[in-house]
Amino acid sequence: MRSRLLKLVLAGAAGAAAGLTAGLARRRPTPQERERKRRLDVNARGRTGNAILLDYRDAVFSYTYDVHSIEHIATQDICALLPLLPADPSTLVGRPAIIKYLASNPANSIVVCEDWSGLLFQPQPASPELNSRA
């Protein structure tokens, strides 16, 4: 009886150790993964507003917008989203845009994400050569 109890205790301890090891081995999200999650969250829960694009440098947009008569100036790193943008995103500087922001924290805003874009530009039509191959 005693050896059976000892075996159960040892088995439980081994299981707990294995669970702890697996928990420690679980990787933390990278900064890029955290930023992607933030963008998608703002897109899913955010309110929209009007903005003006102020600057574009090193794959970062700077923009300004008002929420309840409070002016916000924000930036968004769009490095991961460059394939969704025109070839030269700096051509959008000075133009209006739509932003999404969280009502609980209006400073948490985006102008573009994987599933949505508030950048007002016309995508370039596919060349006739590409259409004829389809």
C-alpha torsion sign, points 115, 119, 120, 121: negative
Is 74:65 a contact under the CB 8 Å cutoff? yes
β-bridge mates for residue 71, sequence order: 66
Q: In what order do the strands lie in the sheet with 96-102?
A: 70-77, 60-67, 47-57, 96-102, 105-110
pTM: 0.71
Q: Is the pLDDT of residue 48 over 80?
A: yes
Arithmetic mean of pLDDT over the chain: 85
